[in-house]
Amino acid sequence: MALKRREFLKASAAAAAAASIGVTLMPGMEKTVFADSTTWHKSVCRFCGTGCGVMIGEKNGKVVSVKGDLENTINKGHLCVKGFYLHKVVYAKTRLLHPMIKKNGKWERVSWDEALDYVAKKFNEIRKQYGPDALAFYGSGQAETEETYMANKLFKGCIGTNNMEGNPRLCMASAVGGYLTSLGKDEPAGTYADIEKAELFLLVGSNTAESHPIIFERIMRHKNKNPDVKIVIIDPRKTPTDQVADLHLFPRPGWDLAILHAMARIIIKEGYADEEFIKNHVNFRDNEKALTFEEYKQFLEKYTPEYAAKVSGVSPDEIVKAARMFGQAKTAMSMWTMGLNQRTRGVWANNLVTNLHLLTGKIGVPGSDSFSLTGQPNACGGVREGGGLCHLLPAHRLVKNPKHRAEVAKVWGVPVENIQPKPGKHTIAMFTALNKGEIKGIYIMCTNPAQSLPNASKYWKGLKEQFVVVAESFFPTATTEYADVVLPAAFWAEKEGVYGCTERRSQYMEKVIDPQGEARWDAWILRDLAIRMGFKKEFEKYKTAEDIWNEYISLTKGTDMDLSGATYRRLKKVRGLTWPVPSEDHPGTYKRYTKGDPVFDALPEEKKKGRRMYFYGKPDGKAIVWARPDKGPEEPTDAEYPLALSTGRVLEHWHTRTMTGTVPELNRAVPKAYVEINPEDAKKMGIADKDQVIVETRRGKLKIEARVIDRPKPGTIFIPWHWEEWMANILTIDAFDPGSKEPEYKVCAARLRKA
């Protein structure tokens, strides 16, 4: 019997793999092979921000299999290695199954009623005694849009504080700032559909192969099919992405802005600029004033290849080569992630990448885009679009805008005065205020700040001293250690809802199984808490997830990110829709700011005259090429701390391992953290592979195993940041970008010695 079943499953597996590349292995047998008792449910991968479609196989109330969704346009049936383990996370032994309250220093299992009554009472006491700004919410780019929406309404609309943040502040805020300042509206102009049309890829600060494997697969396949396609990487570290690179520039960490300016200079000087596009679509500015094109050219004169080489450590020839490759390609797609965003000049770095596209007109046409990759599955959907940051309201609205506050208050059914006009505290300010006791109660949902904040140990004081509620699917985490109450949250496959990924695509996920233990959907936990806090009228109306989604999309109507055509009815059938999607018969939008974008199409003809793009977030519809200074990192290396420390991910783990740490296989594959040291540096310091070393910064020190490898360039070291036991974030710096407030995880000064 087992053998028969095994052969059947093998046939199913082979057929599914074949189908994913459009091959029929067993003609006429497909129906038989899949005529199993397994029921398939449409979902989205729980890990990175790519948004891969996953079909979840359920049998007798359990998740028993997963397959890549063949109909999904993003991954077309394929998954990455994390697909081997998706099910294991659902059934992890570390799932939090019951509400608990810490009493006399010990966790005690309590009923939901007791837990939520306690939280409601404490929050109301704090609010009454110290005012609404003594409370805060800290959410996640992994929460569903419906969940973040409920939190937003409770904290901004009912409690009356804008102290509402989410961990996308730590990963994507600089991309938001970059898009807003360059193009006028957040999120990319194009979609993944540009990949197969691009002649050149510029990957900056992105280990695409390990962090976004399915996007990397699409790039690889495109390049192999079209050998003339070129890939240029700008990144201080050699990674598996290099296996397909034509050119790799290795700047000193944090010193790449000069390279991007030098590339712009060469592009203009050698005639690769699109003068017509520039004339009709672009303005120039520096940090103080508007510039003419000629003044911008003057600004660039400083950025000779030799100057940029001196600043960055990259050879002038390679800078010239990269610029020419970008200029000569008919189409170009830039992609970046944390290497650009997690910097004290992350917004500027984003601007300078987009400059290259605006100067060459390589934007708004198939195969060309300035395209930020997202780290979390719903950072774009729930937090950026849903308004889950301290200065935002739903649908790209701003708390400081009275019209926006009025529109949202009306839909929320709350007095407009409830929504404060001043932004609340951004993430670092929020946890600083917690340390100072200015914030006395915080609700943390689906994230692990005690480990993920930069300079993490600095912020444990506030977590320890104030009233902390953590709604989580897993226990323990570094943050639950400081919690007063933990609330078990339903996990992926145990709830329905919507995720919005990198390419503006919103996708519906089915509920497949009941939550483990007594876990509940985060949106219902927040609803119940709100009612117990006295906001019955405002929250009792939500009976289903669809009720929440419908209210949210009503707020998007008429905005640049119109989702009013993306109803549950429709999303349940299709594999997501890329906004703007203003009506149920609208197919979604491939390119923004140009023909086919409903916002562009609705513009008066006189505005569009002579233009193939109109950047409608800017007063005159023109995007901005920025002349930003080439500032380096906040904490450059020096004689005392001569090494540049960078942190990042490995393929097998994700963020603080609350999910991947539950999978024994992944733990065994990469069981512990390590520090990568270039062989040249290791030799000088007398360090051998696997030696124990001490890595020290001005904030802390860590004993860790050395990995002598030529991935980091000499003078730099790298630590994957996933482990609580080897917490890289006790070393990182909490200086942040003054515009985006995103911290500079990617570079600080360190020293290293043998333990």
Binding site for other proteins (CB under 8 A): 2, 5-6, 9-10, 12-23, 25, 57, 59, 63-68, 77-81, 83-88, 91-94, 213-214, 216-217, 220-221, 224-225, 243-244, 661-669, 671
Handedness of CA 415, 421, 423, 424 (dihedral sign): negative
Handedness of CA 662, 666, 667, 672 (dihedral sign): negative
Active site residue 62: no
Nearer to other proteins, 215 or 566 (CB): 215
CA distances from 648 to 194, 210, 653, 721, 747 (A): 27, 10, 11, 6, 11
CA distances from 23 to 27, 215, 733 (A): 10, 21, 51
Q: Which of 52, 150, 171, 748 is catalytic?
A: 171
HEC string of 178-237 equals HHHHHHCCCCCCCCHHHHHHCCEEEEECCCHHHHCHHHHHHHHHHHHHCCCCEEEEECCE
Active site residue 516: no
- Look up residue 662 and give its two tokens: 């539950």
Q: Which of 82, 185, 458, 746 is catalytic?
A: 82
Q: Where are the alpha helices (DSSP H) in 71-110?
A: 86-90
Residue with tokens 């929440």: 548
Nearer to other proteins, 241 or 455 (CB): 241
Helix (H, G, I), strand (E, B) or coil at 25: coil
Instruction: Give the up-direction half-sphere exposure of residue 101: CA atoms within 13 A in the CB hemisphere.
Output: 14
Nearer to other proteins, 46 or 527 (CB): 46
Q: Which of 52, 172, 380, 613 is catalytic?
A: 172
User: Do residues 393 and 412 touch, judged by C-beta distance below 8 A?
Assistant: no
Tell me how far, at minimum, the Cβ of 61 lies from other proteins, in Å: 13
Tell me how far, at minimum, the Cβ of 68 lies from other proteins, in Å: 5
What distance, in Å, lies between the first and last C-alpha atoms of the chain? Answer: 56
Active site residue 230: no
C-beta pairs of 681-685 under 8 Å, 24+ apart in sequence: 681/643, 681/714, 681/715, 681/717, 682/706, 682/708, 685/752, 685/753, 685/754
Nearer to other proteins, 78 or 405 (CB): 78
Active site residue 622: no
Burial class (CB in 10 A: 0-12, 13-18, 19+), 100: buried
Active site residue 338: yes
CA distances from 196 to 246, 368, 547 (A): 18, 10, 38
Tell me how far, at minimum, the Cβ of 66 lies from other proteins, in Å: 5
Tell me how far, at minimum, the Cβ of 676 lies from other proteins, in Å: 17
Tell me how far, at minimum, the Cβ of 33 lies from other proteins, in Å: 10
Sort strands 392-393 and 692-696 into parallel, antiparallel or unpaired: unpaired
Q: Which of 263, 338, 430, 509 is catalytic?
A: 338
Tell me how far, at minimum, the Cβ of 445 lies from other proteins, in Å: 24
Tell me how far, at minimum, the Cβ of 666 lies from other proteins, in Å: 7
Task: State phi, psi for 351 to the nearest 5 degrees.
Answer: -55, -45
Active site residue 375: yes
Closest CA to 119 of 167, 82, 154: 154
Classify the phi-psi angles of 501: left when phi > 0, otherwise alpha if psi is within -120 to 50, otherwise beta. beta
CA distances from 286 to 181, 257, 342 (A): 11, 14, 22
Q: Which of 142, 376, 451, 466 is catalytic?
A: 376
Nearer to other proteins, 77 or 327 (CB): 77
Instruction: Look up residue 311 and give its amino acid.
Output: V
Tell me how far, at minimum, the Cβ of 700 lies from other proteins, in Å: 22
Nearer to other proteins, 80 or 347 (CB): 80
Closest CA to 345 of 747, 751, 47, 755: 747
Instruction: Look up residue 59 and give its amino acid.
Output: K
Nearer to other proteins, 20 or 328 (CB): 20
Tell me how far, at minimum, the Cβ of 675 lies from other proteins, in Å: 20
- Look up residue 675 and give its two tokens: 């520090």
Nearer to other proteins, 226 or 554 (CB): 226
* Distance of alpha carbon 257 from alpha carbon 93, whole angstroms: 46
Tell me how far, at minimum, the Cβ of 272 lies from other proteins, in Å: 30
Classify the phi-psi angles of 446: left when phi > 0, otherwise alpha if psi is within -120 to 50, otherwise beta. left
Active centre residues (catalytic): 82, 171-172, 338, 375-376
